[in-house]
Amino acid sequence: MSVITRARVQLLAGNVADQIAAGEVVERPASVVKELVENALDAGAHAIRVEIEDGGKTLIRVSDDGLGMDREDAQLALQRHATSKIRTAADLIGVATFGFRGEALPAIASVSRFELETCGDGDAATRLRVTGGKLDGAEDSVRQRGTTVTVRGLFYNTPARRKFLRATATETRAAVEALTVLALTRPDVAFSLTSDGRVLLDCPPAARLIDRAHGLWGAELADTLLAVSHRAGPLEITGLVQRPAQARPAGRKGYVFVRGRPIRDPFILRAAEAGYRSTIAPGDRPSLLLFLDLPGDAVDVNVHPAKLEARFRDKFFVERVVEEAVREALAPLGSAAPLGGVGFQGSGVGFGSDASMLAGTPLELFTGRDLTPDTRHQAPPLLQVFDTYILFQTDAGVAIVDQHSAHERVLYEDVMRQLSGDGAPAQRLLLPLTLDFAPAELDAIEAHRELLARIGYEIEPFSGRSIVVHTAPNPHPRFEAARCLQELVADLAGGRFGGWQNRLERFAATYACRAAIKAGQMLDAGEMRELIVRLLTASLPAHDVHGRPSMVQLPKEELERRFGRT
Ligand SMILES: Nc1ncnc2c1ncn2[C@@H]1O[C@H](COP(=O)(O)OP(=O)(O)OP(=O)(O)O)[C@@H](O)[C@H]1O
Ligand SMILES: [Mg+2]
């Protein structure tokens, strides 16, 4: 039971309203960094400097060289709902600035000791001081064009919130992350962050996103990224995604930007991961930087107080296109990892710099344009080394194929088609095979009987532990039907490849692994050609089905670099 006393309805004092707004917008020092840096970007800054002390708990300072403000605007900017970015509700549709709510500065100023120093073109500089939301000083100052906001003692007047701040290292990390996300939206702008005098981030202006990724995380990550560029109707997707073989279970970067604005959207990240189907080891999570561009009226960005979410008019369409975009980025031969010191997809002319050209060219060389055998004499020679790798020349360098992984990829794609279509052409055995299995294996055979039949194994129980095999697949001349079946069944019974989500995919991957040509097998010229031609017509030739490469490339420019020809 509670006693309800009736209170008068009153408007909240502005300062109280600001503090309430701060509850939504300003969660921790990193949120202050985010809001102030967004304001700097909206003001057209070319260089943005962030300083924090004690994880931002004692000091956050953001300086920019943007448009600045005159005194009147600066004072207005500290009022709630004061913004220069929109005028009417209609302006919200397709709003191109980060800010539009006119809330951030008053909210921050209401829970800190706040100082704003600013200077617009042709104006005198102004300094305003606000303590806990109360303006307590406006004076002239001297500075160049731009704005510096200093926030001290965050939450000094809201002790309950101050208590929620985490350890300095945690808050510092969050602040660095807040700046990192925004630095990704604008490679052309310089960003730096110092924490207690130490430089934690220092990114010069860069021409391309990949250069910014390099500046933020170094070559170790940047060199594992592939470019994405895909359009479907009104939706354009660009960005960077990691090569499957270089994905790891922990520490991935996952960023989604919509119309240049960072948002959190686990569904879009998941859709992108779906694009990695059959190329990635179970548990590995690729790094993803996805920029979605679509008309302003196809997405609502005003659905979260800190603008961390967006609502799409057609979410399923967006997710489908994201998946397609990733798939397309993984498809070209150029998505194979380069050997040597050449970084991101070479310097423009290498393997993979033009996906469409490179995806087509080698195949034509091998097969002739009309894919008839008599034009195949144009094919470049193939060289097998260590009875395991096949080398050949492409436009851009030397491709090095792992014969087993490559064959697995080819068979996997065949089998997936067979399992969902008419099944595989099977070969009736002149003498049916009789094979013995352990009880658990017999169970596995029973459980996969239909799938085994689709790939070409027609099997009947015989007696006790024996079965009879009437037909078998015939994927290549060296195929050993009995051995393959025994290994496949042992894998299925033993739960190998258990990380695969989908039963069909798991079955296909297991079969492909067991049916494929092994490493250490010498191949004749015809077999090599057959394998390479089929690999080059596969949808994802450069990646095997266990999260390893099926191909690497030695870029021509790497050779030129090594031999001093450039
Ligand atoms: N660094 C800056 N340089 C120039 N003008 C600024 C800067 N920061 C803020 N302003 C001005 O102050 C106004 C208020 O900023 P504030 O962040 O409170 O609101 P907003 O950016 O318009 O919207 P939101 O609350 O969504 O961020 C801005 O509209 C802008 O005109
Ligand atoms: Mg703002």
Phi and psi, residue 29, nearest 5°:
-50, -40
Closest residue by CA, ligand 1 atom 27: 99
Q: pLDDT at position 2, please? A: 60
CA 100 to centroid of ligand 1, rounded, Å:
8
112 lines ligand 1 (CB under 6 A): no
Asked whether 166 and 148 are in contact (CB, 8 A), the reply is no
- Atom 28 of ligand 1: nearest residue by CA position: 83
**For the chain, how many residues are written?**
566
Place of tokens 């109707």: 233
How far apart, in whole angstroms, are the C-alpha atoms of residue 208 and residue 185? 11
- Ligand closest to Cα of 104 equals 1
Query: What confidence tier does 505 reach under pLDDT thresholds 50, 70, 90?
Result: confident
Q: Is the pLDDT of residue 463 over 90?
A: no
Q: How far, in Å, are 128, 188, 463 from residue 33 at the CA level?
A: 19, 19, 73
Q: What per-residue confidence (pLDDT) applies to 499?
A: 60
End-to-end Cα separation, the chain, in angstroms? 84
Q: How many Cβ atoms are within 10 Å of 247's Cβ, its own excluded?
A: 22
Segment 317-372, tens digit of pLDDT: 999 999 999 999 999 888 998 887 655 553 333 333 333 333 344 454 444 333 34
The ligand placed nearest to the CA atom of residue 43 is 1
Answer for the pair 527, 476: CB distance below 8 angstroms, yes or no.
yes
Residue nearest to atom 31 of ligand 1 (CA): 84
403-423 average pLDDT score: 91
Find all residues with CB under 8 Å of 272, minimum gap 6, and list them: 241, 286, 288, 290, 322, 323, 325, 326
- Answer whether 529 contacts ligand 1 (Cβ < 6 A): no
Q: Cβ contacts of residue 236 below 8 Å, gap of 6+?
A: 230, 292, 293, 294
Report pLDDT for 17: 83
Q: What is the pLDDT of residue 245?
A: 93
472-483 pLDDT, tens digit each:
998 888 899 999
CA 230 to chain centre: 14
Instruction: Find the ligand nearest to 304 CA.
Output: 1
User: How far, in Å, is the centroid of ligand 1 from the Cα of 519?
Assistant: 62
pLDDT of residue 24: 83
The answer to whether the CB of 104 is under 6 A from ligand 1 is yes
Which residue, 75, 84, 34, 64, is CA-closest to 147?
64
Which tokens belong to 395?
């436009």
Write out the two tokens for 411. 């068979």
pLDDT tens sequence across 143-159: 999 999 999 999 999 99
Pairwise CA distance, residues 30 & 329, whole Å: 33
CA distance 17 to 326: 45
Averaged over 75-89, what is the pLDDT? 91
- Picking from 290, 405, 275, the residue whose alpha carbon sits closest to that of residue 330 is 275
Residue 37 CB less than 6 A away from ligand 1: no
Q: Which helix (H) or strand (E) holds 116?
A: strand 113-119
Rounded to an integer, what distance in angstroms lies between the CA atom of residue 528 and that of residue 390? 8
C-alpha closest to that of 315 among 258, 354, 362: 258
pLDDT at position 465 is: 92
Strands, E assignment, 483-559:
551-555
> Is 102 touching ligand 1 by the criterion CB < 6 Å?
yes
Instruction: Please report where in the chains the tokens 């020349």 appear, as a residue.
Output: 393
Nearest Cα neighbor of 77 from 35, 116, 27 is 116
**Structure tokens belonging to residue 205:** 């202006």
Coil, strand or helix at 542: coil
Whole-model pTM: value is 0.89
CA of 101 to the centre of ligand 2 (A): 7
67 lines ligand 1 (CB under 6 A): yes
Residue 281 φ then ψ, to 5°? -70, 145
Which residue, by CA, sits nearest to atom 7 of ligand 1? 39
Does the pLDDT at position 192 exceed 70?
A: yes
pLDDT grade for 379, boundaries at 50, 70 and 90:
low
Percent of residues, the chain, with pLDDT higher than 70:
92
- Measure 59 CA to ligand 2 centroid, in angstroms: 19
Query: Which stretch, 174-178, 361-365, 493-497, 499-503, has highest mean pLDDT?
Result: 174-178
Higher pLDDT, 397 or 232: 232
Paired residues of 63 in beta bridges: 49, 148
Distances in Å between the Cα of 305 and the Cα atoms of 20, 54, 107, 183, 271 are 12, 26, 12, 21, 25
Give me the pLDDT at residue 342, please: 56
Backbone φ/ψ region at 545: left (φ over 0), alpha (ψ -120 to 50), beta: alpha
The CA 73 to ligand 2 mean position distance, Å, reads: 14
| Ligand closest to CA 83 | 1
